[in-house]
């Protein structure tokens, strides 16, 4: 299947969102970008950020370059700046923010590829001239036994052969390459860069999901597919779920719901304390997130942070619905979308400790 049509990025108007001497995004550039993404949000929700122009906006603003090493044409933004940008983008268009995290995860793996692959792919990715995405959920959801693995890699002469499927790939039909991971005969795992035009690769129609249909998330099937290159997994192996980017998107989505409550509070004084309470709680989670992005965080604390973000994003959306009364319950209303999107965080990249914490919070009577 050929990649879907998308808006290309005029190189001449790219600006620098991230500067080498700053650990935060340029405020004016970020505000301008977010306003533009917000104006396209309705189109993005149905067509996806690749066709609505939002991904081209990310490239023009310099956001994409921030994820790419300087030696390959990027600006190598520090983690706190990246997290700030993700929070802000998620607050205006969660579909675009989700697509960006999947692109960034692919770029992170490509950055460890052989030099010739890095030098060829990363500059074009930083400019938005090529697009990529990641499909590695099968490494965390499949059983360890090779026979049960969703995607299997086998040596085939000097190259590899991939057979099986990736169950969740965001923007597969809008991307030039997919970075995926497969189980090997020795019990290990490898990453692979695969052109979407490769023989034997089939992209199913996008899944019909409760929310974020514009992410064009699909099942991708492999039948004797030969990848462009193989990339060894990092020492210690395995794919970690529930990273800081997922928390950043939850914070951004929670702020979008809190903003609805704050707007309603301007005409209904009884909502003022509710709006203030959510703002305080969300800011506290955001401060912990910022500290973690700059100084690191232990696994248990990272999972607790994610669980707290999940909790507040769901409750803030429900409060926004309550504040909006019946209007917010009508399909197509912005609050109706926020409520559905908030539920995404209960299932997306959610490691078991986070799921357990959320379930405990839901059953708690306190």
Stretch(es) of the chain classified as CATH 2.40.110.10: 133-232
The pLDDT assigned to 137 comes to 87
The pLDDT assigned to 364 comes to 65
Longest dimension (CA), the chain: 72
135-192: pLDDT as tens digits? 998 887 644 444 578 999 999 888 899 999 999 999 999 999 999 999 998 888 999 9
Contact assessment for residue 170 and residue 99, using Cβ atoms and an 8 Å cutoff: yes
Q: Would you tell me how many other CB atoms lie within 10 Å of the CB of residue 335?
A: 24
The pLDDT assigned to 312 comes to 96
**DSSP bridge partners of 201:** 222
Stretch(es) of the chain classified as CATH 1.10.540.10: 11-131
CATH number of 11-131: 1.10.540.10
Long-range contacts of 326-335 (CB under 8 A, 24+ apart): 334/260, 335/257, 335/260
The pLDDT assigned to 7 comes to 58
We find that the CATH architecture of domain 133-232 is: Beta Barrel (2.40)
The pLDDT assigned to 355 comes to 72
Contact assessment for residue 61 and residue 96, using Cβ atoms and an 8 Å cutoff: no
Distance of CA 241 to the CA centre of its chain: 12
Contact assessment for residue 144 and residue 189, using Cβ atoms and an 8 Å cutoff: no
pLDDT averaged over 10-residue windows placed end to end, the chain, 366 residues? 51 64 88 95 94 95 94 93 96 97 96 94 96 90 58 91 95 96 89 97 96 96 96 61 85 97 92 96 97 92 93 96 91 92 87 71 64
CATH number of 244-361: 1.20.140.10
Which residues have C-beta within 8 Å of that of residue 259, sequence separation ≥ 6? 91
């Amino acid at each position: 299947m050929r990649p879907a049509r998308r808006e290309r990025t005029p190189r001449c108007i790219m600006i620098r969102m991230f500067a080498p001497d700053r650990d935060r995004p340029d405020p004016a550039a970020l505000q301008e970008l977010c306003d533009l993404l917000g104006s396209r949000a309705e189109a993005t929700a149905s067509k996806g950020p690749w066709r609505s122009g939002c991904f081209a906006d990310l490239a023009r603003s310099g956001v994409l370059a921030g994820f790419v090493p300087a030696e390959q044409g990027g600006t190598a933004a520090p983690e706190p700046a990246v997290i700030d940008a993700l929070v802000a983008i998620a607050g205006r268009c969660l579909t675009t923010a989700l697509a960006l995290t999947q692109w960034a995860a692919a770029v992170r793996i490509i950055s460890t590829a052989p030099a010739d692959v890095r030098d060829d792919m990363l500059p074009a990715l930083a400019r938005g001239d090529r697009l990529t995405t990641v499909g590695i959920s099968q490494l965390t959801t499949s059983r360890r036994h090779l026979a049960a693995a969703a995607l299997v890699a086998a040596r085939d002469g000097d190259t590899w052969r991939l057979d099986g499927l990736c169950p969740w790939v965001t923007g597969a039909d809008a991307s030039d390459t997919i970075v995926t991971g497969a189980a090997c005969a020795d019990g290990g795992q490898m990453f692979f860069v695969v052109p979407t035009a490769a023989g034997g690769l089939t992209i199913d129609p996008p899944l019909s999901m409760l929310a974020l249909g514009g992410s064009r998330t699909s099942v991708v099937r492999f039948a004797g597919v030969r990848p462009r290159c193989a990339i060894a997994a990092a020492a210690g192996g395995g794919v970690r779920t529930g990273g800081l980017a997922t928390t950043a998107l939850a914070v951004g989505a929670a702020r979008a719901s809190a903003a609805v409550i704050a707007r309603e509070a301007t005409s209904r004084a009884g909502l003022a304390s509710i709006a203030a309470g959510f703002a305080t709680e969300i800011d506290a989670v955001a401060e912990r997130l910022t500290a973690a992005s700059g100084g690191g965080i232990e696994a248990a604390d990272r999972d607790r942070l994610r669980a707290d973000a999940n909790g507040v994003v769901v409750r803030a959306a429900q409060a926004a619905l309550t504040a909006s009364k019946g209007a917010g319950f009508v399909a197509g209303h912005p609050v109706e979308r926020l409520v559905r999107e908030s539920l995404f965080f209960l299932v997306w990249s959610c490691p078991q400790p986070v799921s357990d914490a959320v379930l405990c919070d839901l059953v708690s009577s306190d």
